[in-house]
């Protein structure tokens, strides 16, 4: 009953987004050329102490190891733009500051965890402290907000983040509220860390045993396979050759055990949690539904095919 209700709520939110032509998904919009420095989530803001500091103090920062610079995020504009004026409408935003201290021209690509900001798509986001603009895109299953900005000299870039006005944020909050009221569970509930299987562990027709209660297990595969971006969908339970991987349970001496099996040599990347959360399951369902929504929007002419290519992500790892 809970699973049926959860699926119904998810599809309702997804269809509402499709109707207005607003998606939780977005294309990466970044080419992997030599001039792009892919910092991604390899920075201190993607660590628990920084997340805790932000939620308790409203501010956190870190030094970047890949370049001479730093990264900060704040709820108060004054913490990142000391010389700027503060207007009443500024409270709608969070703010991310990128300090760049080199003379080398390049494009920076940075991923901000959804622990700080619900990812959303927006082009031409203007810095309030410099003559720069950035591109925002949800990536990695909607678990991160990708920020892409071009720099050519030492500068301080401060970008406003819409913390509660994106359609994706409102849809997720609505689903979470309804789900908690009906089941007591939250889509934002915590779970184990994702475990990623190697090629050897996922050898064809070799069953990989998953520790833990099968009722809590969540298994996902990357539908994009060789692409740089990721779209993590829930793996089918029971044999299914069309996606290259499935999982099943088997009872031995009264104990149920979960197993993951690849059905071909070119199996997709696979990850699992022994104790997953409602959020983990929800994320896989939404990403699957959004892939179909994208196709519908393209057929109806609601989606601009001129956008740069990429996968469909929501608001994922780590949904």
What is the percentage of the chain residues whose pLDDT exceeds 90? 25
Interval 168-194 mean pLDDT: 58
Region for 40 from its dihedrals, namely left if φ exceeds 0, alpha if ψ lies in -120 to 50, beta otherwise? left
- pLDDT, tens only, 129-173: 999 999 998 888 778 899 999 999 999 999 998 865 444 445 555
Paired tokens of 214: 């099968």
pLDDT at 183: 56
What would the pLDDT profile of 202-221 be if each residue is shown by its tens digit? 876 678 999 888 888 889 88
- State pTM to two decimals: 0.49
Give the chain's length.
319
Q: How confident is the model at residue 201 (pLDDT cuts 50, 70, 90)?
A: confident
User: What ranges do the domains of the chain cover?
Assistant: 26-168
| Largest pairwise CA distance in the chain | 69
pLDDT value at residue 118: 80
Burial letters for 44-61: b for 16+ Cβ neighbours within 10 Å, e otherwise? ebbeeebbeebeeeebbb
How deeply is 215 buried, as exposed, middle or buried, from its count of CB atoms within 10 A (0-12, 13-18, 19+)? exposed
Which tokens is 242 given?
């069309």
Residue linked to tokens 């959360």 = 277
Apex 112 CA angle, 111 and 116, nearest 5: 170
User: How far apart, in whole angstroms, are the C-alpha atoms of residue 198 and residue 223?
Assistant: 16
Q: Which helix (H) or strand (E) holds 299?
A: helix 278-300
Give pLDDT, residue 300: 58
Q: What is the pLDDT of residue 114?
A: 84
Distance CA 12, CA 69 (A): 43
* Separation in Å, CA 266 to CA 99, 106, 208, 219, 233: 42, 35, 16, 18, 17
- Residues 218-256: tens digit of each pLDDT: 898 888 765 556 677 888 888 766 788 899 999 887 788
The pLDDT, as a whole number, for residue 103 is 92
The pLDDT of residue 239: 75
pLDDT at residue 67, as a whole number: 94
Q: Can you tell me the distance from the alpha carbon of 187 to that of 229, in angstroms, rounded to the nearest whole number?
A: 23
Pairing status of strand 59-63 against strand 133-139: unpaired
pLDDT band per the 50, 70, 90 thresholds, residue 117: confident
Pick the CATH number of 26-168 from 1.10.10, 2.60.220, 2.60.120, 2.60.40: 2.60.220
Higher pLDDT, 306 or 128: 128
What average pLDDT does the chain have?
Answer: 75
User: Does residue 64 surpass a pLDDT of 90?
Assistant: yes
- Per-residue model confidence (pLDDT) at position 85: 67
Q: Stretch 101-105: mean pLDDT, rounded?
A: 92
């Amino acid at each position: 009953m809970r699973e049926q209700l959860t699926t119904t709520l998810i599809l309702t939110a997804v269809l509402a987004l499709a109707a207005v032509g607003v998606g939780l998904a977005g294309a990466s919009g970044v080419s992997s050329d030599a001039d792009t420095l892919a910092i991604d989530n390899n920075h201190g803001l993607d660590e628990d102490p920084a997340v805790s500091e932000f939620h308790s103090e409203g501010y956190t920062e870190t030094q970047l190891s890949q370049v001479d610079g730093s990264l900060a995020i704040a709820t108060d504009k004054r913490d990142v733009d000391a010389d700027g004026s503060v207007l009443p409408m500024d409270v709608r935003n969070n703010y991310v500051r990128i300090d760049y201290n080199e003379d080398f021209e390049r494009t920076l690509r940075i991923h901000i965890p959804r622990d700080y900001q619900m990812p959303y798509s927006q082009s031409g986001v203007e810095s309030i402290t410099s003559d720069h603009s950035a591109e925002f895109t949800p990536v990695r299953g909607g678990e991160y907000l990708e920020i892409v900005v071009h720099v050519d000299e030492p500068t301080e870039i401060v970008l406003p983040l819409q913390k509660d006005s994106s359609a994706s944020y409102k849809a997720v909050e609505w689903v979470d509220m309804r789900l908690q009221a009906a089941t007591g569970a939250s889509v934002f509930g915590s779970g184990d860390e994702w475990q990623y299987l190697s090629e050897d562990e996922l050898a064809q027709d070799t069953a990989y045993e998953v520790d833990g209660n099968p009722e809590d297990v969540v298994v996902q595969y990357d539908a994009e396979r060789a692409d740089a971006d990721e779209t993590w969908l829930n793996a089918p339970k029971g044999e299914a050759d069309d996606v290259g991987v499935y999982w099943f349970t088997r009872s031995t001496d009264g104990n149920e055990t979960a197993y993951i099996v690849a059905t071909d040599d070119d199996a997709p990347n696979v990850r699992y949690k022994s104790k997953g959360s409602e959020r983990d399951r929800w994320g896989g369902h939404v990403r699957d539904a959004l892939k179909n929504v994208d196709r519908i929007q393209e057929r109806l002419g609601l989606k601009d095919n001129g956008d740069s290519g990429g996968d469909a992500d929501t608001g994922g790892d780590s949904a």
